[in-house]
Structure 1
Amino acid sequence: MPATELTLTLHGGISEIPAAEWDDCGDGNPFTSHAFLLTLEESGCTGPRTGWLPRHVALRDADGALLGVAPAYAKSHSYGEYVFDHGWARAFEAAGGSYYPKFQVSVPFSPVPGARLLARRGTDLPPAALAAALARATESLDLSSCHVTFCTEEEWTALGEAGWLQRVGVQFHWHNHGYATFDDFLGAVSSRKRKALKRERRDVAASGLTFRTLRGPEITPDLWKTFHRFYRSTTDRKWGSAYLNARFWPLMGERLGDRVVLMVAYKDSTPVAGALNLMGDGVLYGRNWGALVDVPFLHFELCYYQALDFAIANGLARVEAGAQGEHKIQRGYLPVKTWSAHLISHPSLRRAVGDALRRECAAMEHEIEALSTLSPYRREGEEAG
């Protein structure tokens, strides 16, 4: 489709684009849904105050029909992205450049892989068309750079072919190989690792906590208030600031309905810990967790094992448990590559970042290869034990 037939518009709020039209460009990932992004904006988690200024990209044909979109933000910092470019910013600014504001194509505060260049179903709009639109938007907004993070490999390839710098990262995902029960999964794990996993679950069970999985309207406003306390207990301990506010959770729960899956630990009848997940097409995405009690292995139980139980019971293909965490490997979550692409206009900064990324990519390939050797699964021919 010739670029001259396409019209690019930028939108200061996702409400400017009808929900049905936006979601017709989606792929079932709840994090790029109109409802999720609207909730971020209406709760105040994104906007001028937080340095995530919506500038969503839309491409339309000559008749004004929406062909593609991208969730995009003009940013005055690099927080809440999980693909770190702070070093690039410091180096450029030390040399007298202005790295911020920049253009960020991503889901705020959510290191969830998936499509970022969203084409309407049934169209032949290629990723290259949206890549060109992003380049035009970056220039028109006078931004230093554009960053498409946690995109698909197909998008990463298309952006690379368009001249964008490419970056590779790693996450840890669990894949369901047709397990009917959690014990079936344990049967695929080596004997030593199986004993360790059983011990962890047994120790949590002995703590006296009970667990419930709640979905959609089962999660009450009071429980959302309590979950915000769980969330703050984690952010206060690890980061010192919270990206998501108390208004966000109930709005999200109302709009995403049964796609919201909350695992809750109770001491008697009092909720003391929780792990939030969102469900997409065949995937459970683990996101936020927190606890008001200190119980050994509780994090693993709520965030990993309860998620596996749910995925197996509901026939989901995989569980994605978020960024970082090599400790996930021994619990069945194996390393997978993540992808991002970066358009940098300044020639010297582009050369420096490009050189750094080539070295980083080679190192990442070696790291993923090494991590893969730590798999807990039985090798072919190994006895179940």
Structure 2
Amino acid sequence: MKAQWFNQVQQIGKVRWQQAIGETKYPFAQYAFHAALEDSGSVGGETGWYPEYILLMEDDDTPVAIVPTYLKTHSQGEFVFDWSWADAYQRYGYPYFPKRIWAVPFSPVTGPRIFTALDPQGNSMELLGLYATVGDLLTQRTQQQTMSSWHLLFTKSHVKQAFVDDPILSRVSCQFHWFNRDYRDMEHYLEHFSSRKRKSARKERQKVVQQGIRLQRKLGVELTEDDLSFFYLCYQSTYAKRGQYGYLTREFFQQLVQTMGEQVVLVLAYHDDQAVAASWCFFDDQSLYGRYWGCLQEFDCLHFEACYYQGIEFCLEKGLQHFDPGTQGEHKIARGFEPVYSHSLHYIDNEGFREAIEAFCKEEAQSVVLYHQETTNLLPFKTA
């Protein structure tokens, strides 16, 4: 097997890319997703995200796998926060940036980070050697370029076993995901809540209706230009409330509608027939991935309905088994989203900093485990 580096998806080409990833429907593995990031200017240019894709091939040049990596000059849009690490480097006069991340940009979604037809779901233990090989490749390149580190973000939990003999640090955090336990429909799902929690959930949904809100789900292929313009206004409004500007351009979403519209669902909320909020999700044959939300008017419980209940209903209609609504948010627990661990792996080249960061990760992990236990006890489901 051999590896080749590319800094543009077009250099690999759609045919080779799709041949490498095979039949996987995972939206963040698709050529179309990464092409939209580049073509729209959401990465590259002055963004601080500089693609370095690795194409793994057999000796006869048959594509085997795609590995998405990026040079980064900051830590924005990653959702595994290492600002304190960068500050420590700066205080001691060492450069932390640029660094390399092995990740999907702007997407705190656990999944495979080697996209390959050999393992479409990213669950194979037999392919851990491939992760170890890529890790060695990144370590060598990091050392050759005298960079500080590389970081594998939101990887599957078993992948850390590929690095047990390497100086790779493991970090854990907590998210909240929904799982389909063979629920027939929304009412059947809510029947599994305790009486008090079920009443609360129904009351939340009724509040939305009583305020005159109507919700509609539309696939990406059904979206109009007006729908897209409204969604993008909502997307930017979420950042504007924090005095920021959204990372992704309108052209990114426009291109995705054209190239991946069958894997996009948009929840639109209307008040008196005027659009007031929107929630954007991706989906494949197994999971729904909630990504972007925004509202132009505030309504009681609308966020819960548009981002969670509507997504659960969509999963039940489509037979999807899992809903990842995004990072953080204890408010998800009362709607039936269960705490799950998310994992990242980190190579720190400087031994002194590595030891300090390792101690930090171990202490942090203890707090995360305790938090996971505490939030599990808050779930709304009936107890045996």
Same structural fold, with TM-score higher than 0.5 when normalized by the shorter chain: yes
**Cross-structure match for 2:93:** 96
Letter in 2 for 1:19: K
Structural mapping, 1:62-81, within 5 Å = 62-81=59-78
Match of 2:238 in 1: 234
Deviation, 1:25, is: 4.1
The answer as to whether partners of 1:264 and 1:271 remain within 8 angstroms in 2 is yes
User: Aligned partner of 1:326: which letter?
Assistant: E
Q: Partner amino acid for 1:236?
A: A
- Partner residue of 1:11? 6
Cross-structure match for 1:46: 43
Which residue of 48, 52, 55 maps to 1:55? 52
Identify which of 83, 87, 90 aligns with 1:86.
83
| Compared CA separation, residues 162 and 118, structure 1 to 2 (3 A) | farther
For 1:36, the equivalent position in structure 2 comes to: 33
Tell me, in whole angstroms, the C-alpha distance in 2 between the residues paired with 1:239 and 1:167. Answer: 30
1:160-175 equivalences in 2 (<5 Å): 160-175=164-179
Encode CA deviations 1:136-160: one digit per residue, 9 max, x unaligned: 2323443210000001112232134
CA RMSD in angstroms, aligned pairs only: 1.6
Q: In the alignment, is residue 352 of structure 1 matched against residue 356 of structure 2?
A: yes
User: What does residue 122 of structure 2 align with?
Assistant: none
Structure 1 residue aligned with 2:16: 21
Aligned residues with identical type, % of pairs: 34
Q: CA deviation at 1:161?
A: 4.1
Residue by residue over 1:170-201, the C-alpha shift from the partner in whole angstroms, topping out at 9 and shown as x without a partner, is: 11001111111100010001111111101100
1:292-311 map, 5 Å: 292-311=296-315
Kept after mapping to 2: 8 A contact 1:24/1:121:
no
- For 2:33, the aligned partner's letter is F
Three-state SS of the structure 2 residue aligned to 1:277 is strand
Q: Deviations over 1:245-272 (max 9, x none)?
A: 1111111111112100001011233222
Q: Which moved more, 1:12-21 or 1:69-78?
A: 12-21
- Taking the aligned partners of 1:120 and 1:127, their CA distance within structure 2 comes to 15
8 Å Cα contact 1:275-1:289 kept in structure 2 = yes
Any unmatched runs of 5+ in structure 2? 120-125
Count of residue pairs the alignment pairs up: 375
8 A Cα contact 1:68 1:130, kept in partner: no
Q: Is the 8 A contact 2:29 2:115 kept in 1?
A: no
The one-letter amino acid of 2:163's match is L
Look up the match of 2:222. 218
1:194 aligns with 2:198: yes
Who is 2:113 aligned against? 116
What amino acid is aligned across from residue 90 of structure 1 in structure 2? D
Name the SS for the 1:305 alignment partner: helix
Which amino acid is the alignment partner of residue 55 of structure 1? E
Structure 2 residue matching 1:322: 3-state secondary structure: coil
Task: Go from structure 1 to structure 2 and tell me whether the alpha carbon gap of 1:191 and 1:343 turns closer, same or farther (over 3 Å shift).
Answer: same
- Work out whether residues 165 and 354 of structure 1, in 8 Å CA contact, stay in contact via their aligned partners in 2: yes
Cα pair 1:59 1:130 within 8 Å, conserved:
no
Say whether the 8 Å CA contact 2:19–2:63 is kept in structure 1: no
Give the secondary structure class of the aligned counterpart of 2:310: helix
Letter in 2 for 1:241: Y
Q: 1:156 to 1:28 in 2, by over 3 A?
A: farther
Give the Å deviation of 1:73. 0.5
Larger deviation: 126-135 or 193-202? Answer: 126-135
Whole-angstrom distance in 1 between the partners of 2:132 and 2:152: 13
Q: In structure 1, what is the equivalent of residue 378 of structure 2?
A: 374
Q: Measure, in 2, the Cα distance between the counterparts of 1:121 and 1:61.
A: 13
Distance 1:37 1:251 in 2: 11
- Aligned partner of 2:159 in structure 1 is 155
Q: Distance in 2 between matches of 1:101 and 1:7?
A: 26
Structure 1 residues 239 and 13: CA distance shift in structure 2, 3 A:
farther
Q: Does 1:270 align with 2:265?
A: no
